Structure 1
Amino acid sequence: MLIVLLTKLIATAVVVIGVSLAVGRLGPRLGGIIAGTPIILGPGYFFMLQEHPPAFIQTAALSTLHALVATLLFSISFVVTAGRLSALRSLGIATLCWVPAALLFSRVPGGVGVAVLMYLAMLLVAEGVRRVLRLRQPVIVARSGWFDLVLRGLLAGVLVSVATTLAVKSGPLLSGMLVGFPVGLFTIGWTLHERYGPDVARATVSMAQKGMLSLVAFGAATATLVGHLPPMAVFLLSLLASMSVSATLFMISQRRFRRAYASRYGVVDR
C-alpha cells in the first residue's frame, strides 16, 4: 500500500512540475494552451481508469464536476476576502466554503448536463463579482519559483495518491471530490498574495475561472465516454477535449487582446 501511494505521489508531482515548467518555456501561445490541461485531474483519472470499473469512474467524474462548481465558489470567496485578510486566512475561508458546497452540489439530482449547467451559472456569478470589484489583468508577470512548483507538485501528488488509493474505500463520490480540490488555485493564491500582494493574487485567481472550463470538459468527457470505450481511449479523448477547450479560450483571449490593442493605438487588426 505504501509503495503504491509513493508511486502515485511521485508520478503526479513529476507531471505537475514538468507541465508547469513547460508552460514558462514554450512561449505564450503553446504555454497558454498547456496551462489549461488537467494536470491534477489527468493523473488522478489515469490511475482510476486502470483500477476501477466504469460505474465507479462515472460516479467519480460526476462528483468531480460538482467539486469544480464548488471550486468557483472557492475562487469567489478568495477574491472577495483577500483584499482585507491575509493569504492563509482568505484561503482558509475559501476552503471552508468549498467543502460543504462540494458535498451539497453532489446531492443535486441530474447527470453531466445538469452539472455543466450548474458550473456555467456559477461562472456567471463569478464574472459578476469580478466586474463589481473591478478586477483587471495584473501588470506584473508573475513567474513560479522552485518553491511554488515543488509545493504544488507535492500537494497534488498527496491529493491524487490519497484520492485514488485510500479514499476509494469510501466510494467514488469521495475520490472524485478529492481530485477536484483546487490545489492549483490554493498554491497560486498563497504564493502570489505573499510575493506580489492581494491585487495580483485576486486578479490572477479571477482570471483562472474561465480557464477551468477545460477541466469541466475533461470531467464531462470522462463521465460520458467511460464504459463505451477502452480506458486509455477514454483518457486520451478526455484530454483532447480539455486541450481543445483550452486552445479555444486562449485564441479568443488573444483575439480580444489584439482588438483592444488595435483600438487603443489605431492599428489595423487582421
Structure 2
Amino acid sequence: MSPELQFLLLTILRMAVAAAFVVSASIITERSGPVIGALIATLPISAGPSYTFLALDHDAAFIAEGALSSLPVNAATILMGLVYAVLAQRRGMWISAGSAIAVWLVLATIIRQFEWTLAGGLIINAITFAVCIPLLKPYRHVAKMPLIARRWYDIPLRAALVASLVGTVVTTSGWVGPRVTGVMALFPIVFSSMMLILHPRIGGPATAAVLANSAWGLLGFGLGVAMVHVAVLQFGSAIGLCCALATCILWNLTLWWNGRRKKART
C-alpha cells in the first residue's frame, strides 16, 4: 500500500471515529433537556478527537503550543453563545446562528494573530466568563422544552460537520503550525449543529436555553484546555490528554451534583 493511500485511509478512519462520537453525544444532548444537555455539549466531544489524532502525528511540544491558542478561543465560544441567545429570542435561525458564528470567526481571526501565554489565556477567559455568565442567566430557562422530531438529514449533517473539522485539522496541522491548529481544533461544531438543527424544531428560546446553560460547563472546558498545555509537557501527550478529559468530566459532574443539591433544597 502506497504511503499516500495509507494516509488517506487513516484520515478517513479518524474522521469516521470522530463523527460517530459527536453524533452519539449530540443525540444524548437532545434527549436530556437543557441542563444535562448543556453539560454533555461542553465535554470535549469535538476538540477531544482532534487533539487525540494530532497527538498521534506530533510531539508534546506541538500539542502544548496548540493548547495555548485554543485557550482564548474558548472565550470566543461563550461570546458566540451569548450573541445567539440574545438574537434567538426574536430572530430566525439564519440571522441568529449566522451572526453568532460570524462573531466567533472574527474573534478567532484576531486571536490567531497573537502569541498567547497560559496566564494570558486564563485571564481572558476569566474576564469573558465573568461578563457573559450573568448576561446569559435570563435565557437559561424555558417554560417547556418541546419534543424534537428528528429528520433524516440530522445525523448526516452532524457527521459531515465534525468529520470535515477533524479532517481539516489533521491534514493541515503540519504546514499551518500549532498556533493555527489550536484555533481550528476549537471550532464550535457542537454548538453550531445545535443552532442549525434545534432552532427550526424547538424554537430559538429553547435552543438558546441549552447554550445558556452551557456557560459554567464551558468554563470547565477551558480549564481542561489549560490542563492540556501543562500536563502534556510534564507527562507526555497520552497522559496529558487523559488529565484534561478527567478535568472536564469532574467539573461537569460537580456542576450536576450541585444542581441536584439546589433542586432538592427547593
Q: TM-score range by the shorter chain?
A: 0.7 to 0.9
Shift of 1:198: 1.5
CA distance in 2 between counterparts of 1:178 and 1:95 reads: 13
Name the aligned partner's letter for residue 87 of structure 2.
T
Q: Is the 8 A contact 1:5 1:162 kept in 2?
A: no
Change (3 A) 1:189 1:24: closer
Alignment map for 1:1-270 (pairs within 5 Å): 1-21=7-27, 34-107=40-113, 110-131=116-137, 134-138=138-142, 139-140=144-145, 145=150, 147-259=153-265, 262=266
CA distance in 2 between counterparts of 1:87 and 1:27 reads: 20
Change (3 A) 1:23 1:100: closer
User: TM-score scaled to structure 1, two decimals?
Assistant: 0.84
Change (3 A) 1:63 1:192: same
CA distance in 1 between counterparts of 2:105 and 2:232 reads: 27
Change (3 A) 1:215 1:145: farther
Shift of 1:114: 2.5
Give unmatched runs, 5+ long, in structure 1: 263-270
Moved more, 18-27 or 186-195: 18-27
Shift of 1:33: 6.0
Moved more, 95-104 or 135-144: 135-144
Change (3 A) 1:157 1:142: farther
CA distance in 2 between counterparts of 1:127 and 1:24 reads: 22
The count of residues paired between Structure 1 and Structure 2 equals 258
Partner of 1:265: none
Give unmatched runs, 5+ long, in structure 2: 1-6
CA distance in 2 between counterparts of 1:32 and 1:135 reads: 13
Partner of 1:267: none
Instruction: Please tell me the root mean square deviation across aligned C-alpha atoms, in Å.
Output: 2.7
Change (3 A) 1:108 1:254: farther
